[in-house]
Structure 1
Amino acid sequence: MRSPSLLTFRMAVPMLALMAAAASAQTTRPSVAAHAAKIQPQMAIVLKEKESRTPAMRKMSQDVIYSLRAWKGRDIRKDLPKLRFENVVRRDGTVEIEMGAKVTPQLLQSLKLLGGVTAGVYPKWDSLNVTLPVRSLEAAAMLTGVKNLKSPGKWMTHTGSVQSQGDKSVQGDILRTAYGLTGEGALVGVISDSMDYLQGSANSGDIPGDRFSPLPGGDGTPGTGEGTAMLEAIYDVAPGTKSVFATGKGGEVAMADRMAYSVNFFGLRTFVDDFQYLDEPAFQDGPIAQTIANIVANGGLVFSAAGNHGSLRSGSSNVWEGDWVGGNNIDYGYGDRPFHQFPTRPTNLMSGDGDLRLQWNDPWGAATNDYDLVTVDGDLNITSVSADDNLLNGLPIERLAGQNGDSALVFRYAGVDRVIRLQYFGGRLETYTDGSSVGHAASASAIGIGAVGAILSPEREFQYGDEPRPDSADGPRRMYYDAQGNQTAPNLTLAGATTVVNPLLMGPDGIATTVPGYTTFFGTSASAAHAAGIAALLKQFAPDANATEIKEAMRLGATDLLIPGWDKDSGHGGISGLGAIKLLMEGRTQGVGGSNFTFYGSSGFDLTLDLGRPAPPNGLTLFLAGAGDLHIIGGHANPVAPGSSTTTVHIGAFSENSTGHATVMVVEDVSNALLAQFEVQKYPALAINGFGLNFSEVVGGARNVTATVGLTQPASPAFYFDIESSNPAAASVPTFSAVSSGQQTKNFVVTSHPVAVDTPVTIRVRKQGTTNPWIERSFTVKAPKPNSCVPNPTSGSAGTGVTYTLKLSGPAPTGG
């Protein structure tokens, strides 16, 4: 649908129709000399008009100038009979104007005195929207602080109970059934043209009325209802999310202002839009892109439809972007003016009706070069002109309406060579390049979403080899300046650009909605809506994840379509809900608290798995996988209950006496997310395989015995064993002891006691807590024997008493 102020881009000109139009428009191409001869007198007329403008007119866009001259009675087509231009003067004698100006109370009062009615005032952007009587245009242009006046920028959207078939393409159905996700707790801002047909979608249950709010005064009605179609797609994927709708109409700064207002008023942090202004800067960020950058810098996500502008790969691109190549200079009576030479000729044939835009890489608002744009028919008659005074208005852009079969010519009025970008919105160019995605959707902060047809026969998720739609816009985006107009690129040639990798992801289109005109919803608008729905489910799954983590999970979890990694046609691939879930789990899991474990026998052990965040509404099912001697080592992981962040993993063995090693992985059953990985070494059941005493007999109380317990292998953990003595009165022992972890032997002391007669004693040991057979060793506790009998004194006279001291081999027992 097309009107004087807008272009709704569903599939405005079907691809086959464009190709047919291009074929029918083919004519014999004139030589450069013939071109110059035919164009020279016409361009002299164009330049004469440009040179004759008043100071006020020099600030105006070409369509406003022509309309003003026509109001004054000039026959614009007198010398250019084939010329087309849009008269922007309304029936009531007023003109809608987007004014670039320093907004002050004095300016607003002056505009009011001139009969102006302001519709939007945006001091942050030095911009305002005002409706002025045509008679006041020149006076308004000369007011203090006014830099330029132009007609409102045209815009397009990207389109080309019912359940969206694209839901399966991005695995939204699996995320809902397997994990119980609905998008509960998520809030999504939707920006499109209008909310027409909302009541019908609410009545059918495709949009839940209690989960939707329009921005006050921002529903965009009357319009096409594309916003309603986008909301249906979002709610098909994430029925539990809440949303806020705002129209993108009203101009670039108005759309940027609504986005900022939605952040402040509703707390929105996630947006999706399918809106594009055709005059958005190509080589630096404009107001919308700057607002998106601010939202993202403060923790937000913005999904933008990449556009249905075609691609170099599919042979359907609507853009030519490259270094200026000068053709012959032609003296039109106002000095030499070179024209650009496209690769094969000076002209570039247009297929389909659309809107043509020329930009070059000067800083926005501070252009230092002046380029002009004209279109000609097959006989080289000029059919439209855009020759603004770019040096005065500061805007490096020319704009005009195109027509099927006409060709574009680019002239340099003043200045030096620059990279030029010619883009035909709504149509196609005969000579084209890559990089058709442009504006805020191709900015570094936005997540540009391209389109792949939803897979319907049968319905399935994206797979390698699925191809983008032929009209899905390609990258890369070439940038030269930051938002303030400071040069960031190494140089101002095509090769010197800083490139932005967009589109970033691909979503499904060709889906069903209940909205009239969108019952089959094509284009990157539908794709972007699915991306926002998946993001809402992911936010519910991982409420602790920040915007960067969600974006990276979607980016790295995508399914490669054309080549591994990013490419300019399919980005990082098709959106995969499960791929993103997998990365969100793997990025947060805390594992089982270790990486190496050892056990013996078949008793096994338990580990605690910590997910790092609560499980989703349906909980999680886990399984064990791995490599190595899994036929020996086994186990299981308990399910994770809804809302719980931990569960128990049991590791055991099937054989008591086996030896083996395995790398064990704990895996989530649906996404195959790796939640823990560790090494397990299994040994036969740890046992005592050696027990000895260092003496076979000792004299009780005179000497103790050292007992040594040996194990089959080093203990892990400590190995406890019980100890008993058959006669504690003769030889006592501790009741238990332990082999320390990492050790293989343990000594303990058998304390002997005095006995009256030789006493055999048995010491026995066994693993604590078991009924294993005792391991026994015996020795004898000997009774003491006389060692010596010493007289004192050893000599003496008769009658001297002698004391004899009897010494024993050990202490005498109690009682002697």
Structure 2
Amino acid sequence: YDVAPGLKAFAFHTAFGGQAGFANGILALANQCEVVVDDVIYYSEPMFADGAIAQAIDEVHAMNKSYFSACGNNAESGTFEIFNKDPEPETIYKGIFESSYQFHIFNATDATYLPVNISVNSTAIIVMNYDQDYFSITENGTGAEADIDMFLYDENGTQILEYSTSGGNGDPIESLIFTNEGPYETFLLRLGKVAHKTPGDAVKADPNFIMLVYFGVSRDNDFIFGPSEYGHSNANGGCGVCAAEYQNTTAFGKFEVTKVNWYSSQGGAPIFFDPDGTRKAIPQIRESPYVCGPDGANTNLFPPREYMTPERDREGDGLPNFFGTSASAPHVAALAALIKDYNKDLTPDQIKKLLADTAQDMDDESTAHFDEKFDFKTGYGFVNGSAAFEELETLVTIATGSDDDYDEDRLRREAFDAVRRPNDRREEVLLEHMAHTQATGAGLVSVYSTTLREEDEYGGS
């Protein structure tokens, strides 16, 4: 009620009932609510396609309801690159079993291993997708053809400490969970495509691309830098929200430009498949996160007071501060609810465009220049409620005109090509596309969510 004063009713539905339960909960809320928000991710959500939860969000959008989601707190802890296997197979022993693998050569190391740092007494979760068919979201899908497994070795690369083996013919998703009991903190990650399980097996097709997201992996690693948000928050029908501590906004005079939290997840992951499993002629790279909201404000109960520290009570007023995109997304959703209450005729797309048009521009400090308008770290910038309501007085509609000189297929192809390059290049090739988006309201949009730290029996975090 503090961030959306005067609203008549609120509703809640748990997200912890598996992905189908989450999707059904979203639809149940949307049947009675104008605005829905979440801050949950399932590790096994597809990265390269819209899964059940993302499709539910698109249904909400079709119902003329607004959906917001936390983009995640995973910074640039991701890898996206072309799959590049070593031509020489290698025999790997897993207990009494052995398999022949061809290992991926990482761009960052030009070797078949990638160093990852995991603090002592902490648990890391590494999730990988590759661009083949997702069996779980298609009615007649055949599933992934290749079988690619992950292996975590000690720092010398001599001992396998943990591995994943999905078996293939399902979803092209692998996850590896490892708790570091010490004393070392550096480990080597390898990705191996099964060459053959038995002599005479048919050769399985290679994927084109792989993407990994690292949860709980230390950031003091120069080899990991890439998009880290994925899943239902990348749905076309939603709006992803990154986070900036409220005391780091321009309103408090510390900075000339509001600073995004370093841990806000970076967007830019491509979508390769339609929900029916058809590979897109041109992969989609959606604008996500879309806007930035505040975090670090007071709460009455979270985190619990028994865990209070000066870092969690920065004002010293005895009230705990709540940080992360789990905090920023509800703030932006509340602003959207106030806007909808003020003008009930506004569509979700009009509300999103209003938030973007009136946002304070921010900068992705990992790039060499100031990122004007959209970037994959801060979206269109920090929302400005006062400016949004002022703009409402003159807002009539979103233009839907066309531009004969605008070649969307070419620009999307260039944007996809650039996602494999440094951020500067990626944003350069998106510039023309975004300029057209702002002029016509015709652009692609998306969302992202994560942040609850506990894992339930269904794999939710």
The two structures have a TM-score, normalised by structure 1, of 0.40
**Residue 372 in 1 paired to residue 180 in 2?**
no
CA distance in 1, matches of 2:298, 2:214: 29
**Cross-structure match for 1:420:** 210
**Cross-structure match for 2:101:** 337
CA distance in 2, matches of 1:545, 1:517: 36
- How far the C-alpha of 1:547 sits from its partner, in A, is 2.1
CA distance in 2, matches of 1:425, 1:456: 25
Q: In the TM superposition, what whole-angstrom CA distance separates every residue of 1:671-719 from its partner, at most 9, and x where no partner exists?
A: xxxxxxxxxxxxxxxxxxxxxxxxxxxxxxxxxxxxxxxxxxxxxxxxx
**Residue 347 in 1 paired to residue 113 in 2?**
yes
CA distance in 2, matches of 1:500, 1:462: 32
Q: Give the alignment partner of residue 357 of structure 1, picking from 118, 124, 127.
A: 127
Q: Give the alignment partner of residue 328 of structure 2, picking from 506, 511, 527.
A: 527
Q: Is the 8 A contact 2:302 2:322 kept in 1?
A: no
Q: In the TM superposition, what whole-angstrom CA distance separates every residue of 1:563-608 from its partner, at most 9, and x where no partner exists?
A: 321111110000111222233221139xxxxxxxxxxxxxxxxxxx
| Residue type of the alignment partner of 2:176 | L
**Residue 253 in 1 paired to residue 253 in 2?**
no
Mapping of residues 318-467 of structure 1, within 5 Å:
318-327=77-86, 329-332=88-91, 336-342=100-106, 343-344=108-109, 345-352=111-118, 353-365=123-135, 366-380=143-157, 381-391=159-169, 394-402=170-178, 403=180, 404-413=185-194, 414-428=204-218, 430=221, 431-455=223-247, 460=252, 465-467=257-259
- How far the C-alpha of 1:486 sits from its partner, in A, is 0.9
SS where residue 586 of structure 1 aligns?
A: coil
CA distance in 2, matches of 1:464, 1:246: 39
SS where residue 382 of structure 2 aligns?
A: coil
SS where residue 226 of structure 2 aligns?
A: coil
Q: Is the 8 A contact 2:72 2:264 kept in 1?
A: yes
Q: Is the 8 A contact 1:281 1:439 kept in 2?
A: yes
Mapping of residues 487-636 of structure 1, within 5 Å:
487-490=279-282, 497-517=283-303, 519-562=320-363, 563-588=371-396
| Residue type of the alignment partner of 2:297 | I
- How far the C-alpha of 1:477 sits from its partner, in A, is 2.5
CA distance in 1, matches of 2:150, 2:354: 44
- How far the C-alpha of 1:561 sits from its partner, in A, is 1.2
Mapping of residues 600-749 of structure 1, within 5 Å:
none
CA distance in 2, matches of 1:400, 1:273: 25
- How far the C-alpha of 1:450 sits from its partner, in A, is 0.3
CA distance in 2, matches of 1:263, 1:498: 26
Aligned residues: 339
CA distance in 2, matches of 1:407, 1:489: 35
- How far the C-alpha of 1:398 sits from its partner, in A, is 1.0
Structure 2 CA distance for partners of 1:530 and 1:327, relative to 1, 3 Å: same
Mapping of residues 118-517 of structure 1, within 5 Å:
235-241=1-7, 242-264=9-31, 267-310=32-75, 317-327=76-86, 329-332=88-91, 336-342=100-106, 343-344=108-109, 345-352=111-118, 353-365=123-135, 366-380=143-157, 381-391=159-169, 394-402=170-178, 403=180, 404-413=185-194, 414-428=204-218, 430=221, 431-455=223-247, 460=252, 465-490=257-282, 497-517=283-303
- How far the C-alpha of 1:252 sits from its partner, in A, is 1.1
Q: Is the 8 A contact 1:321 1:432 kept in 2?
A: no
- How far the C-alpha of 1:465 sits from its partner, in A, is 2.0
SS where residue 67 of structure 2 aligns?
A: strand
SS where residue 13 of structure 2 aligns?
A: strand
CA distance in 2, matches of 1:548, 1:584: 14
**Cross-structure match for 1:799:** none
Residue range with higher mean Cα deviation, 296-305 or 536-545: 536-545
CA distance in 2, matches of 1:516, 1:372: 39
CA distance in 2, matches of 1:291, 1:299: 13
- How far the C-alpha of 1:395 sits from its partner, in A, is 1.0
Mapping of residues 765-784 of structure 1, within 5 Å:
none
CA distance in 1, matches of 2:278, 2:255: 42
Q: Is the 8 A contact 1:443 1:502 kept in 2?
A: no
Q: In the TM superposition, what whole-angstrom CA distance separates every residue of 1:99-135 from its partner, at most 9, and x where no partner exists?
A: xxxxxxxxxxxxxxxxxxxxxxxxxxxxxxxxxxxxx
SS where residue 341 of structure 1 aligns?
A: coil
SS where residue 588 of structure 1 aligns?
A: coil
SS where residue 574 of structure 1 aligns?
A: coil
- How far the C-alpha of 1:254 sits from its partner, in A, is 1.0
**Cross-structure match for 1:725:** none
CA distance in 2, matches of 1:383, 1:245: 41
CA distance in 1, matches of 2:249, 2:99: 63
- How far the C-alpha of 1:556 sits from its partner, in A, is 1.4
Consecutive unaligned residues in structure 2, runs of 5 or more: 93-97, 136-142, 195-203, 305-319, 364-370, 398-461
| Residue type of the alignment partner of 2:149 | D
CA distance in 2, matches of 1:526, 1:532: 10
Structure 2 CA distance for partners of 1:331 and 1:536, relative to 1, 3 Å: closer
Q: Is the 8 A contact 1:481 1:489 kept in 2?
A: no
| Residue type of the alignment partner of 1:567 | D
Q: Is the 8 A contact 2:77 2:227 kept in 1?
A: no
CA distance in 2, matches of 1:335, 1:389: 12
SS where residue 276 of structure 2 aligns?
A: coil
SS where residue 211 of structure 2 aligns?
A: strand
CA distance in 2, matches of 1:271, 1:245: 9
- How far the C-alpha of 1:332 sits from its partner, in A, is 1.4
CA distance in 2, matches of 1:237, 1:462: 23
Max Rg structure:
1
Aligned Cα root-mean-square deviation (Å): 2.2
CA distance in 1, matches of 2:241, 2:394: 25
**Cross-structure match for 2:459:** none
CA distance in 1, matches of 2:291, 2:302: 28
CA distance in 2, matches of 1:367, 1:320: 20
Q: Is the 8 A contact 2:129 2:210 kept in 1?
A: yes
SS where residue 103 of structure 2 aligns?
A: strand
CA distance in 2, matches of 1:321, 1:428: 18
Q: Is the 8 A contact 2:77 2:228 kept in 1?
A: yes
CA distance in 2, matches of 1:405, 1:557: 45
SS where residue 327 of structure 1 aligns?
A: coil
Structure 2 CA distance for partners of 1:509 and 1:258, relative to 1, 3 Å: same
- How far the C-alpha of 1:460 sits from its partner, in A, is 4.2
| Residue type of the alignment partner of 1:581 | F
SS where residue 337 of structure 1 aligns?
A: strand
- How far the C-alpha of 1:336 sits from its partner, in A, is 4.9
**Cross-structure match for 1:80:** none
**Higher strand residue share:** 1
CA distance in 2, matches of 1:546, 1:498: 23
CA distance in 2, matches of 1:543, 1:554: 16
- How far the C-alpha of 1:245 sits from its partner, in A, is 1.0
Residue range with higher mean Cα deviation, 328-337 or 357-366: 328-337
Consecutive unaligned residues in structure 1, runs of 5 or more: 1-234, 311-316, 491-496, 590-816
CA distance in 2, matches of 1:237, 1:250: 28
CA distance in 2, matches of 1:388, 1:439: 19
